[in-house]
Amino acid sequence: MKINRLLIFTLALATALSSANGNLRSIEDINSFIKEAKPSRTSFEITGNVLSVSLLPEANEIILLSDSGIRMQFYRSLGLSLPSPGDKISANGITKITNNHESYNRIDSFKVVERNALPEPIVVKLSETSTEDHHLQTITTAGTVIDAFPDEIDRRYTILLLKDKNKVVPVSLLRETFGDRSDLVDATIRVTGIYRRSVCGVRKFSWPSITPRFTKDIEILTPPPKDIFDAPTLENRPYLTSEEIIHMSKRSIAGEVLATWSGEWVMLRVEDSRIVKLKLAHGETLPPCGSAILAVGQPETDLFHINLTAARWKKATLQRKSKIVETPKSSDEVFWNKNDCISIKGEAYGELITAEGIVRTLPQPDGKECRFIIDTENSSLYIDASSCKDIISKLQIGSTVQVTGRCILLTNAGARDYSSAKIDGVAIVIRNPNDIVILKHPSWWTLRKLTIVISLLLAFLVGIYIWNRILRNLATRRGRELYREQVAHAIAEFKTDERTRLAVELHDFLSQTLAGIACHLAVGAEALDSNPTAAKKFLATSRKMLNSCRSELKQCLFDLRSNTLEEPDFSTAIRNTLEQIDSCANVQIKFDVPRRILKDTSAHAILCIIRELTGNAIRHGNATEIKISGRINETEIIFSVADNGSGFDPLNCDGPTQGHFGLEGIRNRLEKLNGVLTIKSSPDTGTIASVSIPLPSAKSQESKKQ
C-alpha cells in the first residue's frame, strides 16, 4: 500500500515538473523563452495562423501569426507535408537557444484546425518599410534596381539592390528559381516577398531584406533604358547635404581616368577640373589610366566629395582644348603644418604627388589592397600599387625609391554623421610601373642575410646549450655520486660521534656513579654490625645514586631513539626533549637561538641541561609554572630556567655525597663548553637558573688570542 502511494506521488511530481519545464503553450510563450537568451531547449504545443510557406534550399520555412499579432519563423524538414497560407494549425515541436544565443524553432507535426483564405500582401512604399511593423510580413513594394551581384556568402543567391528615395534594401533571389536577373539593373520593379528585419545567415547584425518566393513575385514596371548612360550629368553644386545626395537618381559623368586601385575604384578628372571617385559595379573591369570614359552610377558621399557607386563605364571623347600639363607636387604639400600642428589637406585629393623615401613594408602581391609604406623625411605614406602589382617583386625593404602618383584620401565612404566623417590617412596611387623609380638598393647587409646569420648563431648557441646540458648532466650525476659518498661518510662519522658521546656519557657519569655506589655499599656492609645507623645512611645514599643512574640511562636511551637534534627550531626541540618528564606543570618556552649555529654536541648538551633544570624544578621544587627562555648576544648564548617552586639555598644543598648528581652533571657539561651556571634561589621564592655559553666564533677568537 505504501509502495503504491509512493509511486502515485512520484508520477504526480514528474507530471508537475514536466508541466513547469516542458511544453510552451503559445507563440507568446516561445517569444518570452527566446528573449531570455539562455542556451536551453524545450518543447511547444501551439496554435497559429499560417502567413506564408517558403521552400528554402535546406528546409521549409513556415511563418505563423499569433492571435495577439506576434509573427514568428519556424522550420520543417524537407519532404514533409506543409500547410497552406491562411490555414490555422495546431503544431508540436522543439524550440531551443544554441550556445551562440541563436534561436531555432522546429515543427515536428501539425494538424489543420481551420482553413481560411490566402492572406493578401501588405502594399507599402519601400521608403516607408519598418523593421518593427513589417518583420516577417509578406509585402508588395516597388523601387529601382541599382545593382545586381552574387551573394559573396552563399553563391546560390543573387542580390538585387532596390532603391526608393533615400532607402536601399537588398532583394535576395534563389538562383535556382529566378536565375541571374542582372538584366533588371536600372529597371523599376514591383516585388512581393517576405520582409525581414535582417539578412538571414551569418550576417547577424545587418540590414533589412526582401525574399520573393516565386518568379511571378517580380513584376517589371519600367524596363531598363535602352541606353544605360542616358542619365543627367552630375551637378557641380557644393554644400549639398548627404540626404539630398542620397535622394538623387542616377547621374553620369565624363572625364579622364587619373588612377585606378583595389580592383574597383577609379579616379576621374572631369572637364571642369573636378575630381570624382567611382566605385564600379560588380563585374565591371577597370578602365586604363589616361583614357577618357563616360560613367554612370548612383550618387553617394563620404562628406568630402560626391562619388558614384555601382558605376558602369564606356569609352568617350572629351572636348578639351589643350592637354593639361601637371607638375608633381612634393608630398609635404599634402599636409598642413601650422605651429607644429600637422593636419591632412583635404584639397590634396587628386593632386599629382611625388615623394622620395625608404621602403619599410612590402604587401602581398595577391592582396586586393596592394599597399606598402615608405618613410619620407617628414612623414610616412601609403603607396597603392594594386593597378601594377608586378612592380612589387622588384622592391626590397630598405630600398630608396621615388614615387609619383595621385593622392587619395582614405575616408569612411557612406558616412552620414560628423563623428564618423574621418580621414584615416592619405595614399599615393601609382598608375604604371614607371611611377616607381628605385634610387638606391638596400645595403648588401639585408634583413634576410641578418636573419640567416642570426639563425646560424642561434643554431650555434643551441648546440653549445645542448653540449652544456650534457656536461651538466654528467657533472650532476657525478656530483650525486660524490654527494651520496659524502652523506654515507657523514652518517658514519655521525654514528661514530654518537657512540663516542654515549661512551663519554656512560663513562663520565654512569661509570663513576656505579663506582661510588660500590664504595658506599662496601662501607655500609662493614659498618652494618658496628654502626647500623651509619650503614643505613650509606645504603640510602646508594639507593639515590642508583635512581640517578637509572634516570641518566633512561635519558641516554631517549636521546638515541629521538630525532630531536634534527629539529630546525630550538623551541620545538626543547619541548620534544621535555616530553619524557611526567608533570602537570605549565611550561612556557621562548628560545630565540638559531639551531644552525650550534654543533650537535653543543645542542645536545644544552637540551640535557634544560631537561635537568626543569626536572629538578618539578621533582624537588614542586613547581607549577616554568619559563624557559634563551637568546644570543654578540659573544655568547644566554638561557635560563625560572620556576615558582619551593626554592632552596644554593650554598647549602645536597650534592653527590647525598646521592644528588644533577647540578654536578650540569657543571661537568658546561665545563666542556666553557659555560657558567648561576643559580638565584632561596626557600619559598622559586628558582632562576641562568647559563651562559660562549659562541663557537667567540671561543675560537679567544683561543687564538691565547
Identify the band that residue 510 occupies on the pLDDT scale cut at 50, 70 and 90.
Answer: low
pLDDT of residue 9: 44
pLDDT over threshold 80, residue 35: yes
Identify the band that residue 141 occupies on the pLDDT scale cut at 50, 70 and 90.
Answer: very high
Does one domain contain both 695 and 636? yes
Tell me how crowded residue 556 is: count the other CB atoms within 10 A of its CB: 16
Give the residues across from 162 on adjacent strands. Answer: 145, 169
Torsion of CA 443, 447, 453, 454, to 10 degrees: 140
Which of 47, 218, 52, 196 minimizes the C-alpha distance to 119? 52
pLDDT of residue 403: 94
Q: Give the lowest-confidence range in 40-49, 128-137, 574-583.
A: 574-583
Does one domain contain both 416 and 513? no
pLDDT of residue 201: 66
User: What is the number of alpha carbons within 13 Å of residue 392 lying toward its C-beta?
Assistant: 21
| CATH code: domain of residue 106 | 2.40.50.140
| pLDDT, tens digit, 9 for 90 and up, residues 387-441 | 888 888 888 888 999 999 999 888 765 445 555 556 778 899 998 889 999 999 8
Q: Give the lowest-confidence range in 60-64, 226-230, 433-437, 510-514.
A: 510-514
Q: Please report, as a single letter, which amino acid is at residue 619.
A: R
325 Cβ contact partners less than 8 Å away, ≥ 6 residues apart: none
pLDDT of residue 702: 47
What is 149-182 written as a DSSP string? Answer: EE-SS-TTEEEEEEEETTEEEEEEEEHHHH---G
> Span 20-48, mean pLDDT?
86
pLDDT over threshold 90, residue 292: yes
DSSP, collapsed to helix, strand or coil, labels residue 572 as helix
Does one domain contain both 449 and 425? no
Does one domain contain both 336 and 383? yes
> Span 15-26, mean pLDDT?
59
Does one domain contain both 547 and 568? no
Does one domain contain both 109 and 133? no
Domain final residue pick, 253, 285, 315: 315
pLDDT of residue 3: 42
Using left for φ > 0, alpha for ψ between -120 and 50, and beta otherwise, residue 350 falls in left
Q: H-helix or E-strand containing 601?
A: helix 600-619
> Span 210-235, mean pLDDT?
92
pLDDT over threshold 60, residue 502: no
| CATH code: domain of residue 599 | 3.30.565.10
Identify the band that residue 701 occupies on the pLDDT scale cut at 50, 70 and 90.
Answer: very low
Q: Give the lowest-confidence range in 105-119, 288-302, 574-588.
A: 574-588
CA distances from 374 to 392, 424, 433, 507, 670 (A): 13, 17, 17, 95, 87
> In whole angstroms, what is the distance from residue 266 CA to residue 258 CA?
8
> Span 223-239, mean pLDDT?
89
Task: Write b or e for each residue in 327-359: b if 16 or more Cβ atoms lie within 10 A of its Cβ, otherwise e.
Answer: ebeebeebeeeeeeeeebeeebbbbbbbbebbb
Does one domain contain both 574 and 690? yes
Identify the band that residue 553 occupies on the pLDDT scale cut at 50, 70 and 90.
Answer: low
Domain tally for the chain?
6
Beta strands in 272-366 (DSSP E): 275-280, 292-301, 306-315, 329-330, 335-338, 341-344, 352-359
Query: How far is residue 22 CA from its own chain's centroid?
Result: 38
Identify the band that residue 333 occupies on the pLDDT scale cut at 50, 70 and 90.
Answer: confident
Q: Is residue 357 part of a domain?
A: yes
pLDDT over threshold 90, residue 20: no
Q: H-helix or E-strand containing 73?
A: strand 71-76
Q: Which residue has the higher pLDDT, 134 or 634?
A: 134
pLDDT of residue 13: 43
| Three state DSSP letters for 44-104 | EEEEEEEEEEEECCCCEEEEEECCCCCEEEEEECCCCCCCCCCCEEEEEEEEEECCCCCEE
Q: Give the lowest-confidence range in 178-192, 209-223, 353-367, 517-531.
A: 517-531
DSSP, collapsed to helix, strand or coil, labels residue 332 as helix
Which of 134, 98, 113 minimizes the C-alpha distance to 46? 113
Backbone phi and psi for residue 378, each to the nearest 5 degrees, phi listed first? -115, -10
Domain final residue pick, 114, 137, 152: 114
Contact 296, 312 (CB under 8 A): yes
Does one domain contain both 70 and 91? yes
pLDDT over threshold 80, residue 216: yes
pLDDT of residue 658: 55
User: What is the number of alpha carbons within 13 Å of residue 144 lying toward its C-beta?
Assistant: 16
pLDDT over threshold 90, residue 681: no
Q: Give the lowest-confidence range in 196-205, 298-307, 603-612, 613-622.
A: 196-205
Does one domain contain both 107 and 140? no
pLDDT over threshold 70, residue 612: yes
Does one domain contain both 434 and 449? no
Is this model's pTM higher than 0.85 or not? no
Contact 616, 592 (CB under 8 A): no
Q: Is residue 140 part of a domain?
A: yes
Q: Is residue 639 part of a domain?
A: yes
Domain final residue pick, 288, 315, 342: 315
> In whole angstroms, what is the distance from residue 306 CA to residue 684 CA?
113
Identify the band that residue 170 occupies on the pLDDT scale cut at 50, 70 and 90.
Answer: very high
pLDDT over threshold 60, residue 682: yes
Q: What grid cell was written down for 652? A: 647549602
Q: Is residue 234 part of a domain?
A: no
pLDDT of residue 705: 43
pLDDT over threshold 90, residue 341: no
Q: Is residue 413 part of a domain?
A: yes
Tell me how crowded residue 16 is: count the other CB atoms within 10 A of its CB: 10
Q: Is residue 453 part of a domain?
A: yes
pLDDT over threshold 90, residue 514: no
Q: What grid cell was written down for 426? A: 592619405
pLDDT over threshold 60, residue 616: yes
Q: What grid cell was written down for 225? A: 533604358
How high does pLDDT run on average in the chain? 82
Does one domain contain both 569 and 695? yes
Q: Which residue has the higher pLDDT, 301 or 533?
A: 301
Beta strands in 441-513 (DSSP E): none
Does one domain contain both 105 and 183? no
What range defines the domain where residue 101 resides?
A: 23-114
> Span 499-509, mean pLDDT?
56
The segment with the largest mean pLDDT, out of 15-19, 211-215, 572-576, 603-607, is: 211-215
> In whole angstroms, what is the distance from residue 461 CA to residue 465 CA?
6
Q: Is residue 10 part of a domain?
A: no
Backbone phi and psi for residue 119, each to the nearest 5 degrees, phi listed first? -70, 140
pLDDT of residue 293: 94
Q: Is residue 281 part of a domain?
A: yes
